[in-house]
Structure 1
Amino acid sequence: MNFDRFHIPPPPPDNQSSDQIGPPAELAPVIARYHFYNDLIAGLLSLTLNFLLVFIIAKRGFSASKLFKKVMGLSKCFEILFSASYIMTAPVFTSIHIKPSFSALMIVNTGWQFNFMCSILFLSAALVLLTQQILLAPWLYFFRYAQVCRKDGVKCTDICLIIFINLTFQLFTSVCLCYASVPTDDDIGFFGSVTMNFTGVETAFLLLSYSKKILTTPEKISQIVSIISAFGYLASLILSVVIMIFCSIKINMKVRETKNTSNNLLVLQKKMNRVLLTQFFCPLIFIQVPFYYSVLGPIVGLSQGLLTDLLPLLFSWSPAINTLFIFILNSEIRNALVGKQRLTATSDARRSFANEN
């Protein structure tokens, strides 16, 4: 075993290192159980609510435009896949710190157990879908901005631009992170005991570190890719905030500038703003803040300890809470759920607003 690459001397004769690697052995199984049941409960709630919302959008009398229905339906399908991947893998994010200078992030599969490579693929898929949640809400802001502020609405070039940005900031960065996190034989041999603390058996894990000694060309490439992914995630967070602020300001300016704006339209706009704000701040609180603290922080040694292990519990709740607020704040969706077809003043205003813009 090459201990030098982890910046530590070989362990003493009793095979126990003087450094604590990962959470204490007595605490690790408790963390794993919390993650398993938390992800299971949140995932089942998310699947139920999202399937119900997709059914309403597709089958019931919902007055939104066809484009908005497609965008909403697509975003909910991503949330369904994300929740399903979390139920399957129940990933635990834990920080690794070994004196004097080795820091890393370890993602352990504590859910369904498969062979090592299959579990690695499922863990990677869960991480890619988790990353996808960062920019889903801002794109809904952008589509609403295009509907309200442009005469021609959403154009084909907008769709192409969104696909390009999404592939660049989401798919590319997450795939880079997964590629750089695939453990080597040395990683498996050295950190396999940490996974046993969580599950009782050696299971699949991802490991990402900027402080390992680089011994081979593939490892050099892996480190470069990991740095690229870190900058991509940082750019994603900044971009999502900029999109939300820009679109929110433009939408409200357009509504105020519109002549003869009825009270119903103003009430409608306020309701839509509440829905959009909820769809932005839910991922911000449940996805982005825990992600940057518990996923990117340990890689450079900025966040360690129990909080790193527990904050990712919020990840699985984002789709469920987001969809629940849509049901709470959107009266038309609630009416469609129970089959109520009578148009209210708000729904009349919504159709009038859509026709005007």
Structure 2
Amino acid sequence: MRVLAAMSGGVDSAVAAARMAEAGHDVVGVHLALSRNPQSYRSGARGCCTIEDSRDARRAADVIGIPFYVWDLAERFHADVVEDFVSEYAAGRTPNPCLRCNEKVKFSAVLERALALDFDAVATGHYARIVDTPDGSRELHRAVDPAKDQSYVLGVLTQEQLKHAFFPLGDTVKTEVREEAERRGLSVAAKPDSHDICFIADGNTPAFLSKQLGEAPGDIVDAQGNKLGEHKGTHGFTVGQRKGLRIGTPAADGKPRFVLDISPVDRTVTVGSREELAVARLTASKPRWCGPAPSSELQVKAQLRAHGEEVAVTARVEGDEVQVSFDEPTLAVAPGQAVVLYDGTRVIGSATIDSVERVAAQHA
């Protein structure tokens, strides 16, 4: 089988490519140049897609003994991931750029190009598993290493994309991957993992957004509309945020306050107690199913953040909308996030959260 191995320059993708080559596949390594400023070097575990990463990927390909190329997808990445990230924050939502990158770049642009070049599949270093079923379909499952599981950000993949994907590391824990890289003589064996948002190398998301969107001062208010403070832009906040609110007036009960709602139109950020943050249900749109769309009500688990815990829910699909009710009130559910549904370890699919219904509102 002809396999295109996406090589980021890190240890995971290098070992994934090595495993595919060792399994007897005809493997070609490709590094995706996603940065408009590739001259910048990563800072420790922050950032990626730099010249340094490209060179690390090339060295790994040489050790493995496979051809290697660099594909410039910087413009596609900027349009589909960076601009989407900025516009979502400007709209008061909280996007996940890694999920969007997997959907729009790695398993859309890259896979489409790979198939056009007569490759059979794309392999990546994601920690997730693909299970082949007797009827010929493929299922996406959680990785065996719960600390590294990345099935959440892959919940956007369709059945057709899964049929052309390989995740060779899904049955391995991270320590074993590094040990294997060392045995194979890969220089990236001890390279730090990338963290945070790859296109914000210094990790300062508010500063990045301020540079893109400018300042738009407004008020910070409580649920009753009382002004508590001021801010320089709603894009500096996310639902559930507790730190950095800079509210001069303490809460009557002395407890911390959290961001409940963000309204860019009137430049208002609403804060309240932890109890007011609790959500009973949500409505999501733009569903992406890893297999057939569910046709009945589901009693399943949901994950709301890349590293969040799963919670029990009842989900109902109504056309292009997904209604999700939580068995127990859930905190910090933000519009713009993805809700990914699971049946055991199997990923059913995902959708983008549009709105939430808070427990406090039901009792008002």
Task: Return the TM-score normalized by structure 2.
Answer: 0.22
More helix by share: 1
**Which of the two has higher C-alpha Rg?**
1
